[in-house]
Amino acid sequence: MKTVNQLLEGKGENVWSANPQMTVYEALEMMSEKNVGALVVLEEEKLVGIFSERDYARKVILKGKSPMDTLVGDIMSRKVTCVRRDQSIEDCMALMTDKRVRHLPVLQDNRVVGVISIGDVVKDIISEQEFIIGQLENYITGSR
């Protein structure tokens, strides 16, 4: 069973973040530049929220607000579901499904050390299943 730590080792531990005083537009620019769907929101290296494309769509666009005049801190999600490095990928999938979130910040000593997305988790699970299927096919056909 693969862990969050192993997943981070494979994908890297880059953490792209915003601060609550940034405008939504600035945060969206960063998300586009980094090709990510969410940014953790940090205040003095402390996790205070997460800002996602979903927050933008629901709390800015649908409310008729301007991304240039709206601050990340005013619309970010403050309840953030996090994971630890030692948790399994299966735990992450269950959490994401249960909490209906697509990004999980990884905490170590109350510090964000990575972020995993639903895409990362699904890709890893598919890769693991393909490996197992290949092993089973080899076993069945007798080739090693």
Q: Which residues pair with 50 in a beta bridge?
A: 40, 77
Q: pLDDT value at position 28?
A: 97
| Domain edges within the chain | 4-141
Interatomic CA distance for residues 69 and 98, integer angstroms: 33
The string of pLDDT tens digits covering residues 33-45 is 999 999 999 999 8
Is the pLDDT reported for residue 102 higher than 90? yes
The string of pLDDT tens digits covering residues 70-97 is 999 999 999 999 999 999 999 999 999 9
Strands (E), the chain: 17-18, 38-43, 46-52, 83-84, 103-108, 111-117
Which CATH number describes the domain made up of 4-141?
3.10.580.10
User: How many CA within 13 A on the CB side of residue 139?
Assistant: 6
Q: Determine what percent of the chain is predicted with pLDDT higher than 70.
A: 99
Q: What's the whole-number mean pLDDT along residues 107-116?
A: 93
Measured on CA atoms in the order 87, 80, 123, 35, is the torsion positive or negative? negative
What pTM was computed for the model? 0.84
Q: Determine what percent of the chain is predicted with pLDDT higher than 90.
A: 75
Q: pLDDT value at position 11?
A: 84
